[in-house]
Structure formats: structure tokens, C-alpha cells
Amino acid sequence: MNDELAALKRNHTWSLVPLPPDHKVIGCRWAYKIKHYSDGLVEGYKARLVAKGYTQVEGVNYKESFSPTAKLTTLCCLLAIFAPQKWFTHQLDVQNAFLHGNLDEEVYMSLPQVMSVKIMSLIVATLGVISFIFGVVAENKKPASGTPIPGKGIVVCQYPVDPTVALGYLSLAFLLASSIAGYFSLFKSTSFSIFFNISLFTTGLAITLLVWHTVTEQIHLTRNVYHNLETACPTAKTGLLGGGAFLSLDSSLFWLVALMLAGNAREDYFDEIEENGDSAEALKNNA
């Protein structure tokens, strides 16, 4: 991806300009391909930045299109010329090819994404699963109660050493990271408001359960002196941390659904691009 962007900049393919108020911006996306040798081994990975031309209407946004492609017939004709002349042929692997043509129209394309939707989906899913694992482990490690040690008018509760509080905060941290990654990947679009709002609600509920249980457990461990001689040295309520862990997993799943919908959506489905187009930045084609 870095090589592709560097090649585009070297050839002055575009200029970064403000989008005029009477123009529409075309989206872009990354297209990935794996090249293989004839024996099936991986030769290399290719990434191409392509414009979402399907958002344009023929006759309105453009009159004709041209895509230079090499056909097998052309290759056969060249070999037929080379063979009688006994010319040497060499095979070259061209990394980047650019068509230096003249455009009558001004084409504006949105800035390429630093991270693709697939990468953001992988990050959200990984952080959500880690949050779930920490929450489940913390729930299983939590002691049922402490051991009361009676004294003069007080009872000191002795609790076994357990990582419940630390794991609870770790689960909360990874849940927040997963939700922030999903939120900032989708906050430009209101087209997926159902999944967006469900994800926010599920995230808020999971955070409430995780914080409630972790803070309560920490209070029991630090304030372990009771004046009630009948105390049973309680701990945080069982099930809250596990419930928060499962809700954190549900939250990441809803973020994933919204991200997958956003990755496969057409650019003209996003209302903000049309409404706030006058304040957006665009890449002007220099071809």
C-alpha cells in the first residue's frame, strides 16, 4: 500500500485541493490481489487504489471511458513477428502503469483511507475477543467469599489473592478500545443507524456491568474491616463480570456487522458526503 501511494505521488496523479461546492466527490477503496507462481507458491502481494466509478452516471458525469488492457491476441501477434526474425524476447514485471491522457472533465476523489475496513474489522474483532476472555477468566477466578477473622468489636476479612480486579480493568480497557475503533470507523455515516445505535447501547451496558463488578470487588478487598460481627465477608455479586464479558463480545459483533455493511456500501449511500461536500477535501485528477 505504501509503494502504491508513493508511485501515485511520484507521477503527480492528483493534487490535494478543497472540493468546490458545485462538484461531487468520488470515493475510493483498496483492491488486493495475491500473485502465484505456476506451481501455486505465492509470488507476491499487490494493492491497488481504485476509484468507485460506479457512482457516476454515463452521459451525466462522463461521456466515454477507456481502459488499456493487454489481450492474448496481441501477445500472439507479437510472438508471430519475433519468431521468424529470431529476435530475443524478455519478460518484464511492471509494478505500476499510468495512462497519460487528457481529461475534459474535472474529477475529484476522496482521500484514501489510511486503514481499510477489513483491517479495522480485524482490530475490532481481536480487541472484543480479548475483552471477552479477560472477563470470563476474571469471573471464574473470583472467590465466593473471604475468611472472617474476629477481633475486638470488629471483623477483619481476609481474601485470597486473585487477579479479578486487574482482569476486570483489562477487560474494560479492551472493550473501550474495540468500541472506539468501531465508532471512529463509522461515525461519518448515519446509513447504518440501527446497528450503530445497538452497538453503542450494548457497549454502554457492558461497560456498566464491568465497572460495577470490578469497583465493587476492589472496595471489598481494600475495605476489609467490618464492625458487623455477623458479616460473611462478601465479594462482588456473581455473574456480573461474566455478563459484561458476553455483552462486550456482542458489542464487537454488532460493530463488525456495521463495518461489513459500510465496506460493501456504495459511496452515494452516505448522506454526509452529499450534505457536507462543500467542506470536504478531495484529490483532483491531474491526468
* Average pLDDT over all residues of the chain: 76
Residue-wise pLDDT tens digits, 211-258: 888 888 888 777 777 777 677 777 767 777 788 888 888 888 888 887
Res. 270: pLDDT tops 50: no
Neighbours of 9 (CB within 10 A): 10
Grade residue 264 by pLDDT with cuts at 50, 70 and 90: low
Per DSSP, the three-state class of 170 is helix
Residue 241 C-alpha cell reads as 463480570
Residue 248 C-alpha cell reads as 462486550
Q: What is the DSSP letter of 28?
A: E
Q: Which of 152, 141, 138 is nearest to 246 (CA)?
A: 138
Residue-wise pLDDT tens digits, 162-186: 788 888 889 889 989 888 888 877 6
Neighbours of 177 (CB within 10 A): 17
Asked if 214 and 241 count as a contact pair (C-beta separation under 8 A), the reply is yes
Q: What is the pLDDT of residue 266?
A: 47
Res. 275: pLDDT tops 50: no
Mean pLDDT across 126-135: 88
Question: Taking the CA atoms of the chain, what radius of gyration do you get in angstroms?
Answer: 29
Q: What is the pLDDT of residue 114?
A: 59
Residue-wise pLDDT tens digits, 13-34: 778 888 888 777 887 877 888 8
Neighbours of 240 (CB within 10 A): 22
